Amino acid sequence: MSHHIVELKGLSFRYPDGTPALDSIDLTIHHGESVGLVGANGAGKSTLLQHLCGVHVPQAGRVRVGDVPVLPSTLGEVRRTVGLVFQDPDDQLFMPTVAEDVAFGPLNIGLPPEEAAQRVDEALAQVDALHLKHRPPHRLSGGEKRAVAIATVLACLPDIMVMDEPSANLDPHSRRLLINLLRSFHHTKILATHDLDMVLDLCERTVVMHKGRIMADGPTGELFSDIELLTACALEPPLRMQGCPLCGAGKEVVSELTVPSASG
């Protein structure tokens, strides 16, 4: 296994209708890292993530995952390494019941049904959703759908978890559960989001995107205290770092930031 688990070199991408989405992206992510990919709507976060699991194949530049370049011929291998949690769980949950949906990946890689069933139980237990096993996905709440969508990816045992706006549409409680859940994963994680508070909780490293380019890449606490940078990228510092207008507290959060470095 290569030390650089994800490597993007000079990656550019334009949608068929001509919209430029990515402009010569260079990015390297190491094994076991937890990286926040932040940017305003339309910054190109989703497009970048979709390159990591071969939804898009690079138009210019290259993408490498592990030791494998992302090419039409290697998609099978790439998709076994990278698990993408889609932004809208309704896109990801298409089988009649939760159990069958979680089993979809394992069965597709040819596991025998008993083994697949065991993976289903393990993955659902990991996201604390074992009780939803026999429910039809369209009847779940937003938070439950999200948890199950994550389980469908976990069941494929990816090395890298890639998530697109995982905290979107969640109420505060579900969001908190999600953050705790994600913290318990030891995968290499890439979270695309504009929920900067979540990134502050989960990622030691942050990549800031704006209009298809990478504007900054560094330790989360450092970047988030750079108000100028955030404003230029149409972002706001996390609420927790904005401080209390009455007592002025909050700024010191930055110095207290001790994001546990993930075990690799």
Ligand X SMILES: Nc1ncnc2c1ncn2[C@@H]1O[C@H](COP(=O)(O)OP(=O)(O)O)[C@@H](O)[C@H]1O
Nearest alpha-carbon partner for 84 in 60, 114, 105, 59: 105
Which part of the chain contacts ligand X (CB under 6 A), choosing from 41-49, 78-86, 99-107, 135-143?
41-49
91 binds, among another protein, ligand X, Mg ion, none (CB under 5 to 8 A by kind): another protein
* Residues 104-133, mask of contacts with another protein (x by CB under 8 A): xx-xxx---x--xx--x-------------
Closer to Mg ion at the Cβ: 46 or 220? 46
Cα–Cα dist 167/162, whole Å: 13
| 92-118 core/surface letters (b: 16 or more CB in 10 A; e: else) | bbeeeebbbbbbbbbbeeebeeeebbe
46 touches Mg ion (CB under 5 A)? yes
One of 10, 15, 57, 125 touching ligand X (CB under 6 A): 15
| Mutual angle of helices 172-183 and 142-154, in 10-degree steps | 20
Amino acid, single-letter form, for residue 204: E
Q: Name the minimum Å distance from CB 138 to another protein.
A: 5
Amino acid, single-letter form, for residue 10: G
Which part of the chain contacts ligand X (CB under 6 A), choosing from 39-47, 58-66, 120-128, 147-155?
39-47
Q: Name the minimum Å distance from CB 235 to ligand X.
A: 11
193 touches Mg ion (CB under 5 A)? no
Closer to another protein at the Cβ: 36 or 105? 105
173 binds, among ligand X, another protein, Mg ion, none (CB under 5 to 8 A by kind): none
Q: Name the minimum Å distance from CB 42 to ligand X.
A: 4
Task: Look at the block and give the residue holding tokens 């927790």.
Answer: 240
Q: Report how far apart, in Å, the C-alpha atoms of 142 and of each of 11, 90, 137, 150, 178 are.
A: 34, 10, 10, 12, 12
Closer to another protein at the Cβ: 40 or 95? 95
Identify the three-state secondary structure at position 166. Answer: coil
